[in-house]
Amino acid sequence: EVQLVQSGAEVKKPGQSLKISCKGSGYSFDTHWIGWVRQMPGKGLEWMGIIYPRDSDTKYSPSFEGQVTISADKSISIAYLQWSSLKSSDTAMYYCARRRASSGGMDVWGQGTAVTVSS
């Protein structure tokens, strides 16, 4: 079964760092782009960025460039999303998703990682 499994919920304080993960299985991880999507409470979906695990080519949405870092370790089929200094406004659900190989559209999604940042 093709799936993406994300790391568990996190509760952090402002200023702390965080790295969440997304593990792929059931397919060739390094040949599909993996994207990260933010959903703030009660709000819509926002693209953060996307990475190609084979060569770590990464593209960020302008709103998130410099705010987060996306990386991947193809040897263990894991993509990461990390923050160096969290803000309360980073409180959200974060999803990873796989881009279809032959055409666009994100066809497999992780279950989501809830991040709460509060003092």
Question: Interface residues with another protein (CB under 8 A)?
Answer: 33, 35, 37, 44-50, 59-62, 95, 97, 99-100, 103-107, 109-112
Please, what is the minimum distance in Å from the beta carbon of residue 107 to another protein? 5
- Cβ nearer to another protein, comparing 93 with 117: 93
Rank residues 8 and 44 by Cβ distance to another protein and give the closer one.
44
Nearer to another protein, 87 or 100 (CB): 100
Q: CB 90 → another protein: shortest distance, Å?
A: 18
Comparing CB distances to another protein, the nearer of 55 and 107 is: 107
Q: And the tokens for 23?
A: 């593990």
Rounded Cα distance between 46 and 87, Å, is: 17
Query: What is the nearest approach in angstroms of another protein to the Cβ of residue 16?
Result: 26
Radius of gyration of the chain (CA): 14
Residue 54 beta carbon to another protein: minimum distance, rounded to whole angstroms:
15
